[in-house]
Structure 1
């Protein structure tokens, strides 16, 4: 056996983050695509991709102004355009699940706006049926639990959101667990989407709007008062208002924090500036998510790894983050119980 060097002896022993069981609660449908798959499908159909999605990948991004967000959205729309067939959709779901499972994922709630694919796949209902069928078969094949969050687009009319809320409600208990609101947080009037969220709430769905990333705690307050979230997509800037953060903790609202995308979009200058320690110190429930790995270049385990490095998190803290991700999920109780036991086993094992 090789003797440990002085350097080995002084270095902290850390457990593998790839084997830490996790639930993934903030992953967008198109954004979950593998970069290699994007290139392959684009070449198949002769779709021209911008250099930032080819040789310069992952792209340099910023959402500090309207132009920056427009560029981000344009890249997202280009990526969506390569999904042309039912098999493409099934492949995306399968590969996203395989990647999460490789990163220690046990449960995935993947978010999709069916209206973005309706024209090519026969309407919002037909597309939702396709995705749910892909989710069911992929879950059987990979062993990863998967559910769907239907998300409205805040740059579209609030009446469209009501249509999607009714659609999501029809599938409540049949693969759809939540209803969200995504796209540029600075666009549209958040209270106008309240009726759509009321429809989803009556259907028993978890309410998971984006808020508190591109806009500050004032907008988090608007989301809390008008959309009644059970979880908040991002929500990281609630750290700027201790009173608001205290209310979030008291109401049991979980925050889906996506560190790598926060930095890539210019919300924070670097990973050490992401206020995860402040959120945890206040008692917030935090679930780390990858957001859009296709555009940010980092998947689920990478979020844990970057926060471990940036904030010198202990294995005990990382294990608690993993536990919180399951507790904030809509995973079945037996899956949660098994996962929590396995998190304890991960922590009990030698580093």
Structure 2
């Protein structure tokens, strides 16, 4: 293992984390017990999910996610998810967390879409004050629902738009990349942009660069969720880099969803060598059993990045966040402080 400074104290921003997927196994078990839900062994056996990168593999992933989501119902559960995510990120040095949620699945248990989002945003403000991690919310539509539903979510997100704690900072599109015609979601993203909400759709993970090009063309992203398959088309990668599109790279997720066979195969260095702005993310720690610091440890021990380059990744994550310029400047200075500290400060 490459020695270096304590990665848990490295100031950073966490820009790719899903709502229910952010939970730890013990917290999910507590929520399931409260609802008298019996969880399958696959969710509690401390063995990370591994599936092939095809529709069948995605179905297995989504089935487990849906079972977990059934335990996240009611106001107390929604608040628990936000609070737990903020606490986990505080322990890993995060200064900013942008937590992604499709409120549709939680709405029936609290009286509708608007109450669901209001509860989540309110708890994000509370958790920000409690933990010191500034929690913004990304509202994300789902590819397995109708594009008109996405427009409803975009309008809802617009009413809560802002940069600060507990405000909606961006609009996304997630779930199965094989579903739907990407162009049909352009209306929802136009609504979001008019409200000042940047687009952060998923793309370029399960499907290759041709699909990623469609996402870039029709949804005009500021950041791409994953985007790693862009390395298969250098011209596309160059266009995205030139356009200033940031990449939310989640190494553990890429491996456990079968996109790459090993962590060494995740194209982190090719993206960095191409000049891409990369923000590491954990995606769904509940299923992959790998949190944010683990992604930085992968960058260090598997991809050979030294502390200077790891600090660069942390700075890129902060710069790619949707926090205010004032907050970014403070956190960037804290990264510099980390870098000039002793390589033996704290545990490794």
**Residue of structure 2 equivalent to 1:100:** 89
SS of match in other structure, 1:193: helix
Aligned counterparts of 1:202 and 1:60: Cα–Cα separation in 2: 39
Return the match for 1:163 from 139, 152, 170: 152
Greater relative contact order, per chain length (Cα 8 Å cut-off, separation 6+)? 2
**Residue of structure 2 equivalent to 1:178:** 170
**Residue of structure 2 equivalent to 1:317:** 309
1:21 matched to 2:11: yes
**Residue of structure 1 equivalent to 2:29:** 39
1:111 matched to 2:100: yes
CA drift of 1:207 comes to 0.3
**Residue of structure 1 equivalent to 2:295:** 303
CA drift of 1:265 comes to 0.3
Asked if the contact 2:205–2:259 (Cα under 8 Å) also holds between the matched residues in 1, the reply is yes
Asked if the contact 1:26–1:109 (Cα under 8 Å) also holds between the matched residues in 2, the reply is yes
Asked if the contact 1:268–1:274 (Cα under 8 Å) also holds between the matched residues in 2, the reply is yes
Task: Specify whether residues 297 and 12 from structure 1 end up closer, same or farther in structure 2 by C-alpha distance, changes over 3 A only.
Answer: closer
* Residue ranges of structure 2 left out of the alignment (5+ in a row): 344-348
CA drift of 1:13 comes to 4.2
**Residue of structure 1 equivalent to 2:346:** none
SS of match in other structure, 2:201: strand
Aligned counterparts of 1:184 and 1:195: Cα–Cα separation in 2: 19
Asked if the contact 1:63–1:72 (Cα under 8 Å) also holds between the matched residues in 2, the reply is no
**Residue of structure 1 equivalent to 2:182:** 190
SS of match in other structure, 1:311: coil
Aligned counterparts of 1:12 and 1:79: Cα–Cα separation in 2: 36
**Residue of structure 1 equivalent to 2:67:** 78
1:347 matched to 2:339: yes
Asked if the contact 2:49–2:61 (Cα under 8 Å) also holds between the matched residues in 1, the reply is no
Where do 4+ consecutive residues of structure 1 move more than 3 Å? none
Aligned counterparts of 1:180 and 1:145: Cα–Cα separation in 2: 19
Aligned counterparts of 1:237 and 1:125: Cα–Cα separation in 2: 35
**Residue of structure 1 equivalent to 2:243:** 251
* Residue ranges of structure 1 left out of the alignment (5+ in a row): 1-10
- Cα RMSD between the aligned structures? 1.2
Which structure has the greater CA radius of gyration?
1
Residue by residue over 1:202-232, the C-alpha shift from the partner in whole angstroms, topping out at 9 and shown as x without a partner, is: 1110100000000011111101110000000
**Residue of structure 1 equivalent to 2:267:** 275
CA drift of 1:58 comes to 3.2
Larger mean CA deviation between 120-129 and 168-177 belongs to 168-177
SS of match in other structure, 2:199: strand
TM-score (norm 1): 0.95
CA drift of 1:121 comes to 1.4
Return the match for 2:112 from 105, 123, 139: 123
Aligned counterparts of 2:31 and 2:134: Cα–Cα separation in 1: 27
CA drift of 1:310 comes to 1.0
SS of match in other structure, 1:337: helix
CA drift of 1:63 comes to 4.3
